[in-house]
Structure 1
Amino acid sequence: MQFPAAFRRSAAAFAAVTGLILAGASTPAFAAQVPVNYVNLGDSFSSGWGALAPTAVLNPGYLSPEYGGPACWQGGPDDVALFDQLQSVALTGDYACAGALVGDPKSTAGVPPGGIPTIAQQAAKASLDGALNSTTGLVTLTAGGNDVNFGQIIGACAADTSAEATGCQAATAYGVALANNVDVAGTVGTIRGFAANAKIAWLGYPRLFATAGESTTVIAGGGVMTAAAAAVFDQGTDQLNAVLAGKARSAGAQFVDVAPKFNGHEIGSSASWFNLGPYTQFNFHPTAAGYSQGYYPAMVSSIKPSQLVKS
């Protein structure tokens, strides 16, 4: 705190200012800080999906008012809600949808009933609503996991009981190959076409499974897969993040690595921040703690929203 220094003013200076006020002279006006206008896009990791479990199993999520139909499922409270509470941030729209793909960044047409909007379609809807425009200063998103069939890779690794997890290795390698084809540049370009002045932050994915050798590991693989498969799967997550990071930075966006914040809190650790159990669609998604203690601090420390405000 710097209050003592701030209040150590000389009597002469105080008297001079007081004299100006009493004389009716105008005093310098302090410019108000304008929060950065913020829009969130993305898939289930951006939509706060797992933060609802387990209490919302019978009513999983809510229908996003942006779509007016069963196209966009969201959860929360999550990192986006916490980010919005900062004085330096003003959330103008949350358009993230569980199950969203990067898909074709050129396709911004309306979403058919029952469909899940791609990232480009989310951005187009946000623009149509007036939430995403030239005044937008920040856009965040997670995307790419659905494009590489994240869920199917988990299934393949869970079914692999071989000593070297060869089946899991093949599945993760195929996922990384798919990641190389994800059009991150096109997606960033589409977003920037709606919000030319926005900082775009592409968030990564956390490692899901505790591995052997970690001090916090209770059971490597969390009982979902073998220790060997868990190590392979987590390595695949690192490779996916590396591909997305390289593509995002090349496109002029920032990549936010959240994995370090989740270290020691994977599935199978003594204090997991992930859903696992009879939660069906919530499984393998962060809990409320994962969003508040994992994603949120990673966003704050990397994006530094206070530096984006304008006077």
Structure 2
Amino acid sequence: MSLSLKLPRRTLSAGAALLVAAAGAVSAAPATAAPPPSVPAASSTPHVSYVNLGDSYAAGWGADAPAASVNPDAGWSNCLVGGRPDEVTQLSELKNVSLAGDFACTGATVGTNATGRPTIAEEIAAASAARKLTTTTNLITVSAGGNDIDFGMIIGVCARGTLGDCQQAAAAALHKAQQIDVAGTVEAIHAAAKHAVVAWVGYPHLFAANGGGVMSPAAAAVFNQGTDALNTELARLVKEAGRTEGVRTQYVDVTPNFSGHEIGSADSWFNLSFTDPQLEPFNFHPTAEGYLEGYYPAMASQISFARPAF
């Protein structure tokens, strides 16, 4: 996703100011974060050729804030990725797993949008044209859906509006989530890589129960429940698409890994600043610690690395 929210400074409590400082400290040196140990089970499987697709959470946005660059694999000027390392680079370092192509773009959506950002369908087409997504591809990871329901807008409503406004925004988002074309995405991937496992990665809770100084505790509860609703819908759609298209699909749940590390917790794994223009574009995205200790273990433990029979 690509989320940026500017809130009046008066909305930040003293505790929130400390949180901002802590978040900045985490993001200042993400490259030194110790990567989690590899998963032994993956080391004994045949070679896996891996392609990554998706939005900012797949693109490592915030892993080395404020670093950002054009994705070299995709090549589009509006396809930005964050700093590395992140869950994608760490996953590719597992024995017998190699990253054939990384086509994730910050701001990517499943459906078309008015922002001009690439869609997942365009990422698939680019990967296929580059011969990175082929019949020899074994694994594709996808993180998408958050931009389709406009996570950033919902954060703004829940932070500045009434609780009723927040609830209405969350309800509208659930309706949008039900319309996300997961089946079409899986079908397009399968057309180019018919032997691959498609692993769709969900989203973490962003806020601790206290709201992290961004929104009220009640609004934070509504927002997190909305995240759960999106994840549940994505899991359902992914399973249904796999059954309909005859594709091996999996949904990867990352929420438990971020428990105790949400914005507002004593050990947040998210970027958050309302005072530094360089850091603000990375707000509400994981730090390197979040990607390496939250996303990576969930993906490495839940994704099937067994090579399908050809």
After TM superposition, list the pairs within 5 Å mapping 1:1-311 onto structure 2: 34-53=46-65, 56=66, 60-75=67-82, 76-103=84-111, 115-160=116-161, 162=162, 165-211=163-209, 220-252=210-242, 253-277=249-273, 278=276, 279-305=279-305, 307-308=306-307
Instruction: Check conservation: 1:35, 1:309, Cα contact below 8 A.
Output: no
Q: What is the match of residue 110 of structure 1? A: none
Post-superposition shift, 1:34? 4.1
Post-superposition shift, 1:116? 2.4
Letter in 1 for 2:257: K
Instruction: Check conservation: 1:201, 1:303, Cα contact below 8 A.
Output: yes
Q: What is the match of residue 23 of structure 1? A: none
* Distance in 1 (alpha carbons) for counterparts of 2:100 and 2:53: 12
Post-superposition shift, 1:67? 3.5
Post-superposition shift, 1:309? 8.2
Q: What is the match of residue 111 of structure 1? A: none
Q: What is the match of residue 21 of structure 1? A: none
Q: Unpaired segments of 5 or more residues in structure 2?
A: 1-43, 243-248
* Distance in 2 (alpha carbons) for counterparts of 1:240 and 1:45: 15
* Distance in 1 (alpha carbons) for counterparts of 2:61 and 2:182: 23
* Distance in 1 (alpha carbons) for counterparts of 2:71 and 2:286: 20
Instruction: Check conservation: 2:103, 2:127, Cα contact below 8 A.
Output: yes
Instruction: Check conservation: 2:196, 2:308, Cα contact below 8 A.
Output: no
1:200-243 alpha-carbon deviations (Å, 9 max, x no partner): 000000000001xxxxxxxx100000000000000000000011
* Distance in 2 (alpha carbons) for counterparts of 1:51 and 1:133: 29
2:54 alignment partner, SS class: coil
Instruction: Check conservation: 1:210, 1:264, Cα contact below 8 A.
Output: yes
* Distance in 1 (alpha carbons) for counterparts of 2:294 and 2:227: 16
Q: Which has the higher contact order (CA 8 A, sep 6+)?
A: 2
Higher Cα radius of gyration: 1
Letter in 2 for 1:82: Q
* Distance in 2 (alpha carbons) for counterparts of 1:182 and 1:304: 24
CA RMSD of aligned residues (A): 1.9
* Distance in 2 (alpha carbons) for counterparts of 1:33 and 1:174: 43
**TM-score with structure 2 length normalisation?**
0.79
Post-superposition shift, 1:37? 0.3
| Matched length | 255
Letter in 2 for 1:263: S
* Distance in 1 (alpha carbons) for counterparts of 2:61 and 2:189: 23
Post-superposition shift, 1:70? 1.5
1:160-190 alpha-carbon deviations (Å, 9 max, x no partner): 3x4xx11110111111111111110011111
* Distance in 2 (alpha carbons) for counterparts of 1:33 and 1:142: 24
Letter in 1 for 2:254: V
Instruction: Check conservation: 1:138, 1:201, Cα contact below 8 A.
Output: yes
* Distance in 2 (alpha carbons) for counterparts of 1:115 and 1:48: 20
1:285-306 alpha-carbon deviations (Å, 9 max, x no partner): 011000000000000110142x
Post-superposition shift, 1:120? 0.8
CA distance 1:138–1:232, shift in 2 (3 Å)? same
Instruction: Check conservation: 2:212, 2:264, Cα contact below 8 A.
Output: yes
**TM-score with structure 1 length normalisation?**
0.79
